[in-house]
Structure 1
Amino acid sequence: MNIRTIILLMLIPVGLSAQQTITLEECWSNARKQMPVLQNMQAFNQLDSLEQLILKTNYLPSLNASAQATWQSDVTSVEISMPGFSIDEPSKDQYKATLEINQLIWDGGRTKALREMHGAETALSKAETAEGFFPIKQRVASLYFALMLSQNQMDLTRELITTLAKKLNEIDAAVDQGVVREAGKYVLQAEKLQAEQSLSGQVYRAQGVAKMLHVLTQLNINYKDSLQEPEPQIPETVNRHQLTVFELQQEATTQAKEVLQKNRMPVVNAFAQAGYGKPGLNMLKTGADSWLLAGAGVSWNIFDWNKTKRQKQQLTVQKQMIDHKREQFLQQVNTEKQQYLSEIDQYRKALVKDAKIIALREKITNDYSSQLKQGTVTSSAFIEELFKEQSAKITREIHTIKMNQSQIALQILLEK
């Protein structure tokens, strides 16, 4: 590297940065990372793991300790008088301490059903959270295309300013030669200033859109950055997270029914108890004593006054409501789909006519440009035709971007 190159590099401002290319997929990806609610996905997994561990403890033995001291006004006594034989009256103050172990032997599948139900509820929460990204995705796409449209409008305005500046140079010679009146030059200068003023407003609007896009994506986006035109990948069928939500809601109600059914099953458990107290198991022994006790038990709520039956009926109604919501959702999606397809077809046909209109407008403008040099038309007439050409080009850019935007909107509507 020679000394001249080094000096030139040193003269480049430090804050000057090259333009970068931004894609819509990149914006979506970063917006997803920045969405606070989506950061709960890991938390859902942690909560589910903890709940599964909690439910597993139902299968583990429980150890309970208790102590009790009482005084009572009367005790059981044997009022039989027998020569040479007596039974001491129990003490009115009594105490005991026990240590008891309980072990579940069989709960009719209740714990297993609870674990499956909680797993379904966790999956449902995750699907609902994922669907929450849908409006953010739409908003990011809207801002992306708004910035793209602003950039195209600024490019066309700069092109107009360049054309007017070129015409001013040409008309100067014509004014000096007396072919064109000096007032025609003032018309071009005024229109050039107005175009420059319009460009300033467009720049401020583009900067505002870029800042809003930065807030959602946290990407360092400049309004001058190159935006890559998205290539739509439109699914053939509806594949939204919302459909998964409906499926998991149905599964959750099914699991809830299963839990209700298991709650009606008998529960079998074994227990063992060790204790020390006064009196012990032998009520006729007045002193303190220790004891051991072991056994098994069964509990079964045989009749619940049709409570479980009615709860199952409630869940059946809920499943029907979920089906209706799913049908309503699909109907709405299909309605919006037809709207986007109609818009795409409309813009596609409009672009064909735009190309023909622009070709004709360019011919007209070129003809008026030649006549302006010769002084056969006024500057105002030339400006009018030049603006018509620019308006046609702006319309074409709007139709191009709007068609692409409708295609992407259709993609967002159908995909996950």
Structure 2
Amino acid sequence: MIKHCLRITVLLLAIEVEAQDNNRLTLEQAYDLARQNYPLIKQKDLVRQTATLTIENLNKGFLPQFTVSGQATVQSDVTRVGVNIPGIKFDVPGKDQYKVQAELSQMLFDGGNITAQKSVQTANELVEDQKAEVELYKVKDRINQLYLGILLVDEQVKQVDYVKSDIQLGVKRVEAQVKNGTAFRSSQLTLEAELLKNDQRVIELKANRKSLVDVLSLFINRQLPENVQLEQPVIPATLVKESVVRPELKLYSYQNELLKEQNQLISAKNRPRTSLFVQGGYGRPALNMLNNNFDWFYVAGVRFNWGLGNFYTSKKERELLQVNQRMVNIQQELFMLTTNTQLKQQEAEVNKLSQLIQSDQQIIGIRAQVKEAANAQLANGVITANDFLKEVNAEDQAKQTLITHQLQLLMAQVNARTITGNQ
């Protein structure tokens, strides 16, 4: 009985921990889940499979090669022996000839062609895989917008709750004044109407939050509850000192390596090849052209091939690779120019928002003092409910501006890290 109770307790604790984990999410977790569930991730597996199969096929080029061929021909003339030797007769070969043969060959040296092709395929795999990484990295921008959008809504809901507390306090005070006959009922109704307006703001904000959470759930392929708690990203103090480590830089590096391997392949194609071979067959005539009967035959030896036709195109092929390499370098320079420009913009945005936040805090401090004075004046019947609401809304607007600037600052910092590739 005790063991059974312990098992139930452990199970309940596990369920509670899992529920707590499901109710909390960090930006890094959102990145990881979005990456795992984004359809493009499947392309990386296909790239690896394609490269593996291609290399396996290339390796078979070192295996013995077996071919079978045959032919039947009719020719206008045949070789004849024009010398008459008494007692010896030379048969004249038939003009119709037949041959079926098989050949077994083993590559000894292919000029490094197969090895070069394998290197090209491996380099191409890295390029295609990195292209998928570049596209996957772009998902982070969308996750940033959704995640920080939810954080902004959460802060706005908190601010509405603060405003409602101020208005509810005003309602209680005016209600007491109405009972004492020192204030009109209309003042109380004005405050209650403003309270309902703030309730409407909460409804709109929560609906907006739900839509953002639903879209984020689709990206990470996990059904998030409406009340999921998102943790604020922690931005390191050395933000502006971080170097650029974007996946695009790896892509440019891999593309240059691919071009180098393709250059090696051009050299390999221009080298001679040697192989062992053995041929065996049956035909008429066989190797003895003067024997007009069907017979077996075989030939064995070493074969040497050197295709010189590639020398005609090698120079232009190398020039084309050089052009492609310059294009890759230009793309990298353009990417770094764009990235550094974006970083400068984000740095300026961070500095601007930091100054605005300091100003917002000073404004809020002043607005809070004015509101407290208005609160006391409302309690003493010196000002009307509308005057009180004016000051409450002014403080609320100042706090809403601060919240917006704080989230904009966080967004600029996160964007800067995403631009550098460190987020």
TM-score by length of 2: 0.90
Moved more, 144-153 or 45-54: 45-54
Aligned partner (choices 162, 166, 173) of residue 169 of structure 2: 166
CA contact (8 A) 1:107 1:266 kept: yes
**Distance across 1 between alignment mates of 2:219 and 2:347:** 28
Q: Does 1:140 align with 2:146?
A: no
**Distance across 1 between alignment mates of 2:117 and 2:86:** 66
Alignment of structure 1 residues 2-401 onto 2, 5 Å: 20-72=23-75, 74-78=77-81, 81-233=84-236, 234=239, 236-302=242-308, 304=310, 306-401=312-407
Between Structure 1 and Structure 2, how many residues are aligned?
400
1:148 deviates by 0.7
1:304 deviates by 4.7
**Distance across 2 between alignment mates of 1:306 and 1:290:** 42
Secondary structure in structure 2 of the residue aligned to 1:105: strand
**Distance across 1 between alignment mates of 2:304 and 2:146:** 66
**Number of the residue aligned with 2:14:** none
Moved more, 46-55 or 324-333: 46-55
Q: Which amino acid aligns with 2:159?
A: L
**Distance across 2 between alignment mates of 1:74 and 1:106:** 40
Alignment gaps of 5+ in structure 1: 1-16
1:71 deviates by 4.3
1:158 deviates by 2.4
Distance 1:310 1:240, change over 3 A: same
**Distance across 1 between alignment mates of 2:200 and 2:127:** 54
**Distance across 2 between alignment mates of 1:225 and 1:383:** 33
CA contact (8 A) 1:185 1:379 kept: yes
CA contact (8 A) 2:64 2:107 kept: yes
Secondary structure in structure 2 of the residue aligned to 1:36: coil
**Distance across 1 between alignment mates of 2:129 and 2:88:** 78
Secondary structure in structure 2 of the residue aligned to 1:377: coil
1:305 deviates by 6.3
Q: Which amino acid aligns with 2:249?
A: L
Secondary structure in structure 1 of the residue aligned to 2:175: helix
Percent same amino acid among aligned pairs? Answer: 25
**Distance across 2 between alignment mates of 1:103 and 1:410:** 59
CA contact (8 A) 1:343 1:406 kept: yes
Distance 1:96 1:305, change over 3 A: closer
Distance 1:242 1:388, change over 3 A: same
1:55 deviates by 1.3
1:139 deviates by 0.4
TM-score by length of 1: 0.91
Moved more, 97-106 or 84-93: 84-93
Alignment gaps of 5+ in structure 2: 1-18
Secondary structure in structure 2 of the residue aligned to 1:192: helix
**Number of the residue aligned with 2:8:** none
**Distance across 2 between alignment mates of 1:284 and 1:330:** 77
Distance 1:303 1:225, change over 3 A: closer
* Residues 358-409 of structure 1: CA deviation (Å, up to 9, x unaligned): 1211111111111112211011110010001111111111111111111111
Q: Which amino acid aligns with 1:132?
A: E
1:222 deviates by 3.1
* Residues 166-206 of structure 1: CA deviation (Å, up to 9, x unaligned): 32122111012122122211211221121112221111111
Secondary structure in structure 2 of the residue aligned to 1:276: strand
1:32 deviates by 0.3
CA contact (8 A) 1:151 1:224 kept: no
CA root-mean-square deviation:
1.9
Secondary structure in structure 2 of the residue aligned to 1:116: helix
**Distance across 2 between alignment mates of 1:225 and 1:52:** 48
